[in-house]
Amino acid sequence: MARGDIEVKKTETMFNELDRLHQAISRRAYDLFRNGGTLWSSALTDWLTAEQELVSKPAVELRQKDTQFEVLAALPGIEAKDLDVQITPEDLLIKAETTHEHTTDTGTVHLCEFDSGKIFRSIHFPEKIDPNSAKAEYRNGMLRLTAAIAKAATAQKVEIKAA
């Protein structure tokens, strides 16, 4: 792999990953509900708060050009080695974890908008792609993935041999 290239893992389904994330958000939303939540608390508010606490969604762009799709994802501050990119013929999954800590020897922090947590983004392709053609590179906080659109399966005539 060249410098900046990212390994794209072919997988059969994204359901296990999505199910794990759904369960984590459900547990956190239930904790919020059980602890009284906020003044305006409701099931939806608790769910959205839990989702916001646990998951960050990077900005993405999905573009079709000729016979391929190109996905751009903004992931500033993430190291290439920390990215987990999985692909199926229908979906792309981008995962990473971020941490941000303060130490007392660096001075007093008066404002900090950096988050720690999970980055999780699932993108559904409008047409099936060939997962084996997927290539990804990461430079300057931007992930660029390209994948060829799968060729449509055509019916083939099968010869019958008389016995």
Mean pLDDT for the stretch of residues 109-119: 83
Residue the block writes with tokens 């900046």: 4
In terms of Cβ atoms closer than 10 Å to its own Cβ (0-12, 13-18, 19+), residue 48 is: middle
Q: What is the pTM of this model?
A: 0.70
Taking only the tens place, the pLDDT of each residue in 49-103 is 777 777 788 899 999 999 999 999 999 888 888 899 999 999 999 999 888 888 7
pLDDT band at 145 (very low <50, low <70, confident <90, very high): very high
Q: Rounded CA gap, 64 and 70, in Å? A: 6
Residue the block writes with tokens 């992931």: 75
Taking only the tens place, the pLDDT of each residue in 12-35 is 777 777 788 788 878 888 888 888
Give 5-101+110-148's CATH code, choosing from 3.30.70.1730, 2.60.130.10, 1.20.120.80, 2.60.40.790.
Answer: 2.60.40.790
Phi and psi at residue 124, in whole multiples of 5°? Answer: -100, 125
The strand pair at 8-10 and 84-87 is best described as: parallel
Average pLDDT over the chain, rounded to an integer: 84
pLDDT band at 38 (very low <50, low <70, confident <90, very high): low
Residue 17 near residue 86, CB atoms below 8 Å: yes
